[in-house]
Amino acid sequence: MTTPLDMLHQPYWMTMGPMIVVAATGFVVMILEFIFRKGDRRWLTVLSMLGVVAALVVAIIHFNAKPTFALNTIGVDPFASVFSVLILISALLVLLFTLDFSAKSDVPAEHTYLILFAVVGALTMASSIDLVTLYVGLELLSVASYVLVAVRTHSIRSVEGGIKYMLMGALGSAVLLYGMSFIYGISGTTNLMNLSGAGLQMFSTYPAITVIGFLMMLIGMGFKLSLVPFHMWTPDAYAGAPTPITSFLATLSKAASFGMLLRMLVFIFNAPGAHLFYWAGIIAAITMIVGNFIALPQRNMKRLLAFSSVAQAGYILVPFAMFGIAQSADWAGLFDSISFYLFAYTFMTVGAFAIVYLLERDKGSLDSDALIGLYQRSPWLAVALTIFVLSLAGMPLTAGFLGKFYIFVDTMHFSTIWLGVILFATSVVSFYYYIGWLRKVYQKEPVAEVTALSASPIMHTLVAVCVIGTLALGIVPALLLHPLAGLPWIYG
Amino acid sequence: MSLSFWLVAAPLIAAVLLLVLPKMGGAASRGLAIVGTLVSLVLAIVMWLSFPSGSTGFEFIGKIHWFTLPAMWHGTDLSVGLSFGVDGLSLPLAAMTAFISVLAMAGAKRDIDRPRLYYFWLSMVTAGLLGVFAALDLFTFLVALEVTLFGSFFLIQLFGRPGSPKAAIKFLIYRGFATVAMLVALVGIAYGLTGAYSHSGISGNLSFSIPTMLNEAHHLSSGILPAGVAGALLLVLLLGVFIEEAFVPFHTWLPTTHEYADTPTNMVIGGLLTKTGAYVLLRFGVGMLPAQIQHYGMLIAVFGVINILYGAFAAWAQKDWRRLIAFGGISHMGLVLLGIASFSAAGLQGAMFMIVSSGLLTALLFFLTGAIEDRTNTVQLKDLGGLSKAMPMISGFLLVAALGSLGLPLTSGFISEIQAFIGGFTAYPAASFVGLGGLILSAVYLLYAIQKTTFGPTAKLAEGLSDATAREYLPTILLTAFVLLIGIYPNLIGHLFGLSVQGLLGIGG
């Protein structure tokens, strides 16, 4: 038992540094927002970004720290470090995005600190090893996200998206919690470290309940990750939310949820997992197929990216199916392919949303016809969009191809080649709608006079960072692949 | 850096320059693209002349280490790099690629809309094709294959005839699936040969190096890769090759593509891009899974004969020259399958000859019909007629190309068909006998089309048309010259093919 005195002597700074920094920034920004009600308040967003940068520095300082846990609950280990860095980088991109957005629209300033609190939740999901704190982190992220989606209270679509997201999200949380309660019921503990040792015995004593627990946790998180058939809320929430928030849902929220799912499933079900993890493969296959086919007829750019992100979640879920087959010595490769793809996915998705946002603002429409003539209006943004779209489609020399290829090599080795085949075959289907965009980008605008597409320096910076990220991970993937594969993911 | 590296890099550098140099007009863009590909052509000739006699392996090898995939299940990291080299099989194909591409660029019309973008994509496709033929690393090969896929897509999409976007999407989807099937099969073969079932035991390191894979395949004759796995891999590979080569029933994309693409694109797609599948089958199928090729020989041979006949019948039924040439190409490539299925020296050599011959003749036919279309605005057989009076030179060359296609002696078509059939008859006489019908049919459909086009009463639209211009003479004469040269002196490319056939049969025998 931890006594109150022990609680004072925990290594909080080392284990929770990034969370403390981001949460403190969130409170400061919240108070400042109350005080300064007038004028241009974009400096609040800049302040938030500084807080996130500070948290990133703290996370990197402790990156290689020996696995340590405060109160046996929250801590730092390679898994937490990688996902914290990923979450903080995408938070930085999203905040940069909102910096431009809040200057141009009437969105309430609350969204800045709401994003920060959501980041705290996401960091908790990445670095917690207790089901209770994991769930608290998830709820913190989710509740903040519901509000963020519906933040434009005067827009009916925004509110509709927010309500749908909240209903489906709450359902997912409930299912997840129910699944967790089964695991607690048969093991008597919520601590992942204890559960990881108890797995085999648990399974042999209560096989049916273990299976139910596994599936409920997978399905619960499936709602958050918009896996098929739990994806219904995705297009409405994505289309209704302000575009920076959409990019937040698509990247940061997804990365944190994948981190949490991975941590839970691998820690709890490692021993009996051989056939349990196969369920993840089946859901991945359904998600890839349905996500890509349903995206085909979409004309609304944000809805199309929503379905594309459903399909992308399917790709990322593929390595999950192999945890049951692979020996724990080989898990590093699977962790590597999942986290590499998440990094790649973050850059290309934020970049694509950034350009969609510029077009949406310029044309006042989300129809994909807004893409027509983009190459004439801004060659640089057209080329950038080409890179993002080709990366999402999986064209060589981009991060997306390498991520897929690496996952494919995994499936080859772990005798789940059918998933690899579905992965690449559905990618071909996705060519159709991604290339449809490119066709319009390079099509000539019918009007005689071509107006340049205006974008602020902030947006140019954001797009440039995403282009560099997408290309760098595609051309010199060793930058990230090797450090990630070399980490001691499995310890103790 | 080795010669084969620059062979691929030269058009790529030209493409990049086209993209970054400001203010490039039509003539300057074309000039730059031609220079890039011409460098490749010169390098290919240099390698040809200095190719070590008697070498059955890869020469002029150049490697650049790119990155490694972290080791997951065995000792060392999986090295991925850019690696190029040529052997007796790939050098003639690479030379043909540079040759046809240069002529396609030089013969292109001068009034192309957005010339910079056009020659950029044309150079990219050329570089991709050279990369496909010269790649010695699986990753390099797959990247090059995707470059050809997207490059051709944009050429069809952006510069085709009205309605081309639909054809471009069809092209992309079909060939995209072909690429996926090949990716699965090739990575599977690499894994099967060098990873899991390596002759040196479990510790075998997965390698994407094509020479290493070929080497392992050689040891495999002792039967380490389970026959079932190898058979499944070959069937997946065949699926990819069949789509890539537009074999029945996966053929519909090719006629549509040719119908909508412009002339230089048609020369590159018809003459070169549709030959990559046959190359893959020779390199990876015959080279790495020889026992399975023999095991499924009957299947391949029957498929080949079906395509010979179907292609010929379908060509006969066409009313559009471009679709006719497309189906004629399918018929020719069916003969390649028959030659490969025979798994004999003559058959394999015939298949290789047929790839080159069909490439040259298809490009020539597309160029000439393109020249006719420039003047008459149509390639519909019913609208044409009596062109020989107005344009005797174009009509004459068209006749030569048609005669070459139907396999007249002293043309490259003859030497290809005779060898492929000799090979076919030794292994599958019945199938080959049926396939002979294709020879007769090819004479029927080609001469019928020629008669409709050049002879007969002069059609109204043929009046007052001019004959070939200087721009058109260059590709026409050079392509015709090589068709005849190979027909008269086959050993020109035969000695290189002979070397690689020895290499391939050495493994299989």
pLDDT at A273: 58
ipTM over cut 0.85: no
pLDDT for the residue A274: 62
Give the model's pLDDT for residue A448. 67
Higher-scoring residue by pLDDT: B162, A200: B162
Q: Which positions in chain A have a beta carbon within 8 angstroms of at least one beta carbon in chain B?
A: 330, 332-333, 336, 390, 395-397, 406, 408-410, 412-413, 417, 420-421, 424-425, 427-428, 431-432, 435-436, 439, 442, 476-478, 481-482, 484-486
Average pLDDT, chain B: 88
- Judged by average pLDDT, the poorest of A115-129, B7-21, B25-39, B383-397 is B383-397
- Nearest by CB: A420 against B69, B77, B184: B184
Instruction: Please give the average pLDDT of every successive group of 10 residues along chain A, which has 492 residues.
Output: 69 84 94 82 89 94 84 87 95 92 75 93 93 95 93 86 92 95 89 80 82 92 92 91 92 94 87 76 94 91 93 94 80 88 95 93 85 85 92 87 88 84 89 86 74 86 94 86 81 66
Q: Using the beta-carbon criterion (under 8 Å), do A427 and B180 form an inter-chain contact?
A: yes
Spell out the residues 6+ positions from residue A240 whose beta carbon is closer than 8 angstroms to its own: A149, A150, A155, A157, A158, A159, A160, A161, A162
> Once rounded to an integer, what is the mean pLDDT over residues B402-417?
91
Q: Which phi and psi (to 5°) does residue A209 adopt?
A: -70, -35
Q: Read off the pLDDT of each residue in B8-36 and give the average, rounded to a whole number.
A: 91
Instruction: Give the Å distances, CA to CA, from B502 to A92, B289, B349, B494.
Output: 60, 16, 10, 12
Closest CB from B67, B173, B184 relative to A478: B67
Q: Measure the CA–CA gap between B274 and B344, rounded to whole angstroms.
A: 23
All residues at 6 or more sequence positions from A86 whose CB lies less than 8 Å from its CB, including other chains: A255, A259, A339, A342, A343, A346
- Is B83 among the domain residues? no
Residue B479 lies in a domain: yes
List phi, psi (to 5°) of B386.
65, 25
Asked if the Cβ–Cβ distance from A425 to B177 is below 8 Å, we say yes
CB-closest option in A336, A412, A431 to B70: A336
State how far residue B497 is from chain A, nearest Cα, in angstroms.
Answer: 32
Is A408 close to B142, i.e. CB distance below 8 A?
A: no
* Residues A472/A397, Cβ–Cβ less than 8 Å: no
Q: Which tokens in the block code for residue A176? A: 């997840």
**B173 near A CB under 8 A:** yes
Contact check, Cβ <8 Å, A435/B172: yes
**How would you label B176-198 residue by residue, b for 16+ Cβ within 10 Å and e otherwise?**
bbbbbbbbbbbbbbbbbbbbbbb
Asked if residues A410 and A334 have their Cβ atoms less than 8 Å apart, the reply is yes
- What pLDDT shows up at residue A379? 85
Residue B303 inside a domain? The answer is yes
Does A421 contact B180 at a Cβ distance shorter than 8 Å?
yes
Domain hosting residue B390, numbered range? 296-509
Residues of A within 8 A of B191 (CB-CB) are 412-413
Contact in structure between A83 and A259 (CB atoms under 8 Å): yes
User: A interface mutation test: which of B73, B76, B148 has the most A CBs within 10 A?
Assistant: B73
Q: Is residue B45 part of a domain?
A: no
Phi, psi (deg, nearest 5) at residue B444: -65, -55
CA B171 – CA B182 distance, rounded (Å): 16
Rg (alpha carbons) of chain A, rounded to whole number: 22
Q: What is the pLDDT of residues B50-66, one digit of tens each?
A: 988 888 888 898 888 87
Comparing C-alpha atoms, which of B449, B322, B481 is closest to residue B382? B449
Give the up-direction half-sphere exposure of residue B252: CA atoms within 13 A in the CB hemisphere.
Answer: 6
CA dist A295 and B172 (Å) reads 17
Cβ–Cβ contact B158 with A under 8 A: yes
Q: How many CB atoms lie within 10 A of CB A11?
A: 15
Chain A residue with minimum CA distance to B140: A396
Percent over 90 (pLDDT), chain B: 55
- Interval B234-287: pLDDT, tens: 999 999 999 999 998 899 999 999 999 999 999 999 999 999 999 999 999 998
Give counts: helices (H), strands (E), chain B.
22, 2
The model's confidence at residue B197, banded by pLDDT at 50, 70 and 90, is low
Q: What are the φ and ψ backbone dihedral angles of A402, each rounded to 5 degrees?
A: -65, -40
Q: Which residues 75-114 in chain B show a CB within 8 A of chain A?
A: 77-78
Quick: pLDDT tens for B276-333: 999 999 999 998 888 889 999 999 999 999 999 999 999 999 999 999 999 999 999 9
What is the distance in angstroms between the Cα of B391 and the nearest Cα belonging to chain A? 37
Tell me the C-alpha distance between A374 and B120, whole Å: 19
Q: Which amino acid is at B384?
A: L
Q: Are A225 and A72 in contact (CB under 8 A)?
A: no
Total residue count of chain A as it appears in this document:
492
Residue B218 lies in a domain: no
Instruction: Please check whether residue B161 lies inside any domain of the structure.
Output: no
Q: How many Å lie between the alpha carbon of A385 and the closest alpha carbon of chain B?
A: 16
Which of B150, B180, B195 minimises the CB distance to A424? B180
Is there a domain that residue B401 lies in?
Answer: yes
Are B187 and A476 a contacting pair at CB < 8 A?
A: no
Q: Under an 8 A CB cutoff, do A485 and B184 touch? A: no
Beta-carbon contacts of A475 under 8 Å, excluding residues fewer than 6 positions away, are: A397
With respect to residue B82, please indicate whether it lies within any of the assigned structural domains. no
What total of structural domains would you count in chain B?
1
Residues of chain B with C-beta less than 8 angstroms from the C-beta of A486 = 70
